[in-house]
Amino acid sequence: MERSFLRRLSVVVALTAAVAAWSAAPSGAQSTVPYHSFDKSESAAQTWSHGQASRPVQPVSAHAVPNTSPLTGIRILPSSVSLAIPLMNQRIVVEGTYADGHVADLTAQASIRCANSGIAKLDHEDFVHPEGNGHTLLTASFKGHSVSAAVEVTNFSAPFVWSFRNQVLPVMTKMGCNSGPCHGAAAGKNGFKLTLRGFDPLTDYYTLTHQAIGRRTNRIEPAKSLILLKPTLTIAHGGGQRFPVGSPEYQVISGWIAAGMPPPKPSDPRIVDLEVYPHQASLVPGAEQQLVVMAKFSDGHYEDVTRWAKYDSGDEGVATVDPSGHVTMHGYGEAPVTVWYLSHVTFARMRIPYPYQLDEAVYQRAARQNYIDDYVLAHLQQLHIPPSPQATDAEFLRRAYLDAAGILPSPQETAAFLKDKSPDKRNRLIDALMKRPEFVDYWAYQWSDLLLVTSNQLSYPEMWSYYDWIRSSVSQDKPWNQFVRELVTASGNTLENGAANYWVIHRNPIEISENMTEAFLGINITCAHCHNHPLAKWTQKDYYGMADLFARVRLKMGQPAGARPGIGPIFRDVTVYSGTSGQYTDDRFSDPLPPKPLGAKALPLDTTVNLRAYFANWLTSPQNPYFARAVVNRVWKNFMGEGLVEPVDDMRATNPPTNEALLAAMVKDFVAHHMDVDYLIRTIMQSATYQTSSRPTEQNIVDQKYYSHYLVRRLPAEVLLDAISSVTQEPERFDSYPLGTRALQLPDTAVQSYFLTAFGRPIREQTQESERSSVPTITQALHIINGDTLNNKLRAQGNVLDKLIKAGDSDSQIVTYLYLAAFGRYPTDRELIALTGHLRTAEGVKVKGAMNPRRAALSDLAWAILTSQPFMFDH
């Protein structure tokens, strides 16, 4: 490298107060330096970026096509440059836009000039450096296109000192010093402990400047500070070399030491926003794109923090990103690249549209029923994915019954719906379905999963009381905020107020606050139990402050009602009430933390406010950015098979939705309709997106998350069992429940059922989506083939087959009936001929066993239908 910055820096090593300009620090200077020799598993992702021209384009997917679309223009990112801090530079990117909508990073190929080099200069690494106060123009040109950006330099000769809070700590964070495996560990490392990711600047300041008899920082000879000697491997360091002597990292830290180590002050500007350029981009396979990240501070100034931000790709099959914010595109699709700096997170959507030339008309002609379709189609258009056509009436009917109410339409209902010619029959069907008791059963079951209704933790009467409260809330269509508020503030006898049982299941303030956030905000804060959350902004103070909200809940136990293994004794007749005082204390903090909902205002420790009511206000408020989002995403997943955020209980800024605009619009609509869950369900079901066929087209077959076609999925355990029972007309027997109780009507998942367990029923131990599984296994197949659930129903006397035979139905009528009952459609002529033919042959074959040959053959046909994929899947 020509601009040997190491050579220049050898002079600077001895530097004291005079801090060499950071302008000497090209971002690629570390090409020979192992960034991260400590944990080699990360090494693949740690290649430093250089000028793009010298970087070989990686071979990507074999079906990559050369893009020949003409260049329509270029732009400079960011569109203007303001350099207000003498030692800081601005990275720029020249972005080309093409006729087909894709963009390309042309920084390496474009010619870029600064009009007045006395004001600003551009180096070979595409950084603009301040040279003197004033205004000038930066002009980029490429293939006949040209564009300019205004450059403003201020404060050029003003004295400047690096800020501990805003620059020194982020550098240490980026270098990994305060990460979990290193000095950020709860116990520190080798006697040196920093707060995880620098969440507590004041503590870190004292650790660095006062602890270890002040050896860590030497203000007389900064270069002799341990925090420079160790990470540069000038002396031995267990963590290996983190940055070389003279690197920009080195300069920030040494500059700060040399300036007398000013401490973090309450008056320090704070980060208020993080912006990334380009915010979203369509690129071609193999393309590379440098990101530029700007932090905005409370005093209005911006800093280019591209180098110090942390990056992560949400889908490494689509895009990977290196530590300098250099993105490489691999496969088709879209990946959010999250960017993290100080406490702020943002992301850039990087995508490679699928290689299809699609006419605008594909999207214009596509079915649209409501705003959901507009957002989905707009997104599909960006990705060059065509939507599938709308589902047939039969497909829609079966799907609607299963997704909204967990049941199959009866043969009569199917026949009537198929015959109906009115144009609004689908909407009428949706309305009718939502009035059915099975709809209430289904949603009561969903929320019982969420709220962990189980006799493993409650006495039977209490479990029923809890369940009945949920069920009656669903049947009243109680607004979601009211439902949750009733639960959060529930007091009184648990037999009278079912919602109060939540407080019997969750008794420890820590566990309560974890469960509340998981269930109602879709946020997992468990990490903050031991340390600040590594992927979200929650700190331990947030965590324990929130727990303090629940420290005054009291239980008065009634009579013992037995014990549950692993849980302990359970009680009947419990009374839940709120005490007027009490604090949650944890050894980690010398004083109790004031009660405080996540990211909200804290109450004074001695407050007499009803803490649960205070929490409920915050939790269910329309202003709470997480509350409505979490439930909208859960309900959406129920119908679409894939949440906009996955997993649904891991919503955080670093895990953005696949279609933010759609989720935001649905949340707004839901809040505007008073958090009416039925309204939300209706809106989703009425959309053309929900009513898209499950048959993929050749061009959208690869799509599993942008909703171009309905995603087929195995029926949930309970729905499958109920469907088998309903088609065979042989109800399942559940211990101590009246015959005819459907699996979806069980209030309890502790009810014994091999079938339900094998097919992935959740145990309701933890509020987690992943408790439920729909993965097919050999165990399930063996049970379906040999087990007694299905086989017993097929041979039971008086089941559907016996009834049909008794009624004198022909084979052809029976096949038709079974198709209607199981698949919600008529058999085709071909199917009918083939199956009746097989039946006729089989009925002539004697088989050992009790049944007559026809009955045996019909049982076998019913078996084949009830184990086939069109039956076991929702489609």
Partner 1 sequence: MFRLDADKKVHFCDGVTRRDFLHAGALALLGLTLPQFMDLKAMGAVNPNKDINCIQLMLVGGPSQLDTWDMKPDAPASIRGPYKPIPTNVSGIQISEIFPRMAKHADKFALLRSVYHTAAAVHDTGCQMMQTGRLFRGGLESPNYGSVLSKEKGPKGAIPANVLLPYPIGQLGGNLPHGDTAGFLGKKYDPFVLNADPSDPNFHVPDMLPPDYIAALRVDRRRDWRNMIDQSVSYFESSQDAKLMDSTFNEAYTLMTSSKARAAFDLSQEPEEVRKKYGMNRFGQGCLLSRRLIENGVRFVTVNMFETVFNEITWDIHGSAPFSPISCMGNLVGPMFDNGFTSLIEDLDQRGLLENTLVVATGEFGRTPRINPAGGRDHWPQCWTIVLAGGGIKGGQVVGSSDSIAAAPRDRPVQPSHVAATVYHALGIPIDVILATPEGRQVRLVDHGFEPVVELFS
**By C-beta, is 347 or 483 nearer to partner 1?**
347
Contact (CB, 8 A) for 487 and 447: no
Show the beta-strand stretches assigned E in 728-802.
Answer: none
**By C-beta, is 497 or 691 nearer to partner 1?**
691
Lateral strand order in the sheet of 575-578: 492-493, 575-578, 553-556
808: CB partners within 8 A, 6+ apart: none
Contact (CB, 8 A) for 121 and 138: no
d(CA 448, CA 442): 10
End-to-end distance of the chain based on CA atoms, in angstroms? 59
Structure tokens at 502: 């939540």
**Residue written as tokens 């809890």?**
466
**By C-beta, is 569 or 740 nearer to partner 1?**
569
Using CB under 8 A as the binding rule, whether residue 115 contacts partner 1 is answered as no
755: CB partners within 8 A, 6+ apart: 717, 721, 732, 783, 787, 789
**By C-beta, is 268 or 765 nearer to partner 1?**
765
Using CB under 8 A as the binding rule, whether residue 861 contacts partner 1 is answered as yes
**601-630: contacts with partner 1 (CB under 8 A):** none
Distances (CA, A) of 298 to 155, 181, 268, 269, 641: 18, 32, 9, 5, 42
**By C-beta, is 190 or 581 nearer to partner 1?**
190
Find the shortest distance in angstroms from Cβ 95 to partner 1: 25
- The DSSP secondary-structure symbol of 770 reads G
d(CA 464, CA 468): 6
Using CB under 8 A as the binding rule, whether residue 508 contacts partner 1 is answered as no
**By C-beta, is 259 or 842 nearer to partner 1?**
842
Going by C-alpha positions, the residue among 837, 838, 806, 799 that lies closest to residue 821 is: 799
Distances (CA, A) of 138 to 94, 122, 126: 11, 9, 12
What does the DSSP assignment read for 149-201? Answer: EEEEE-STTS-----IIIIIHHHHHHTTTTSTTTTTSTT-BTTB---GGG--H
Instruction: Count the Cβ atoms, other than its own, within 10 Å of residue 447.
Output: 21
**By C-beta, is 82 or 774 nearer to partner 1?**
774
Using CB under 8 A as the binding rule, whether residue 154 contacts partner 1 is answered as no
Using CB under 8 A as the binding rule, whether residue 849 contacts partner 1 is answered as yes
Using CB under 8 A as the binding rule, whether residue 40 contacts partner 1 is answered as yes
Instruction: Count the Cβ atoms, other than its own, within 10 Å of residue 42.
Output: 12
**By C-beta, is 349 or 783 nearer to partner 1?**
783
Structure tokens at 429: 């069907």
**341-380: contacts with partner 1 (CB under 8 A):** none
Using CB under 8 A as the binding rule, whether residue 870 contacts partner 1 is answered as yes
Using CB under 8 A as the binding rule, whether residue 288 contacts partner 1 is answered as no
**728-787: contacts with partner 1 (CB under 8 A):** 754, 758, 765-766, 768, 770, 774-783, 785-787
Contact (CB, 8 A) for 147 and 75: yes
848 φ/ψ sector (left φ>0, alpha ψ -120 to 50, else beta): beta
Number of amino acids touching partner 1 (CB under 8 A): 81
d(CA 875, CA 870): 8
State which of residues 68, 559, 623, 869 lies at the interface with partner 1 (CB under 8 A).
869
Find the shortest distance in angstroms from Cβ 39 to partner 1: 5
Structure tokens at 37: 């020799």
d(CA 667, CA 652): 16
Window contacting partner 1 (CB under 8 A); options: 22-30, 215-223, 342-350, 831-839: 831-839
Using CB under 8 A as the binding rule, whether residue 41 contacts partner 1 is answered as yes
Going by C-alpha positions, the residue among 52, 521, 525, 63 that lies closest to residue 291 is: 52
State which of residues 181, 214, 569, 844 lies at the interface with partner 1 (CB under 8 A).
181
Find the shortest distance in angstroms from Cβ 612 to partner 1: 26
Find the shortest distance in angstroms from Cβ 848 to partner 1: 4
Using CB under 8 A as the binding rule, whether residue 788 contacts partner 1 is answered as yes
Q: Tell me, what amino acid is at 143?
A: K
d(CA 731, CA 740): 5
Find the shortest distance in angstroms from Cβ 859 to partner 1: 8
Using CB under 8 A as the binding rule, whether residue 278 contacts partner 1 is answered as no
Find the shortest distance in angstroms from Cβ 186 to partner 1: 8
Beta-bridge partners for 105: 95
**By C-beta, is 160 or 826 nearer to partner 1?**
826
**By C-beta, is 125 or 650 nearer to partner 1?**
650
Q: Tell me, what amino acid is at 48?
A: W
Contact (CB, 8 A) for 519 and 767: yes
Q: Tell me, what amino acid is at 24?
A: A
**651-670: contacts with partner 1 (CB under 8 A):** none
Find the shortest distance in angstroms from Cβ 179 to partner 1: 9
Using CB under 8 A as the binding rule, whether residue 835 contacts partner 1 is answered as yes
Using CB under 8 A as the binding rule, whether residue 831 contacts partner 1 is answered as yes
State which of residues 144, 566, 604, 738 lies at the interface with partner 1 (CB under 8 A).
566
- The DSSP secondary-structure symbol of 706 reads S
Using CB under 8 A as the binding rule, whether residue 43 contacts partner 1 is answered as yes
d(CA 238, CA 229): 12
d(CA 472, CA 520): 19
Using CB under 8 A as the binding rule, whether residue 833 contacts partner 1 is answered as no
**185-204: contacts with partner 1 (CB under 8 A):** 185
d(CA 770, CA 646): 11
**297-336: contacts with partner 1 (CB under 8 A):** 312-318, 320, 330-331, 333
Find the shortest distance in angstroms from Cβ 339 to partner 1: 15
Window contacting partner 1 (CB under 8 A); options: 177-185, 262-270, 430-438, 493-501: 177-185
Find the shortest distance in angstroms from Cβ 782 to partner 1: 4
Which segments of 455-610 does DSSP mark as H helices, in order? 460-475, 480-488, 502-505, 509-521, 540-547
**β-strands 319-321, 326-329: how paired?**
antiparallel
Using CB under 8 A as the binding rule, whether residue 240 contacts partner 1 is answered as no
State which of residues 44, 65, 361, 739 lies at the interface with partner 1 (CB under 8 A).
44
d(CA 186, CA 195): 8
Find the shortest distance in angstroms from Cβ 271 to partner 1: 25
**By C-beta, is 85 or 839 nearer to partner 1?**
839
**420-459: contacts with partner 1 (CB under 8 A):** none
Window contacting partner 1 (CB under 8 A); options: 549-557, 598-606, 731-739, 828-836: 828-836
**531-550: contacts with partner 1 (CB under 8 A):** 534
**58-77: contacts with partner 1 (CB under 8 A):** 61
State which of residues 588, 673, 713, 772 lies at the interface with partner 1 (CB under 8 A).
713
State which of residues 712, 750, 751, 805 lies at the interface with partner 1 (CB under 8 A).
712
Using CB under 8 A as the binding rule, whether residue 874 contacts partner 1 is answered as no
Tell me how many helices (H) and strands (E) the chain has. Answer: 29, 27
Using CB under 8 A as the binding rule, whether residue 696 contacts partner 1 is answered as yes
**By C-beta, is 474 or 862 nearer to partner 1?**
862
Using CB under 8 A as the binding rule, whether residue 579 contacts partner 1 is answered as no
Find the shortest distance in angstroms from Cβ 870 to partner 1: 5
Find the shortest distance in angstroms from Cβ 856 to partner 1: 7
**By C-beta, is 581 or 779 nearer to partner 1?**
779
d(CA 556, CA 176): 49
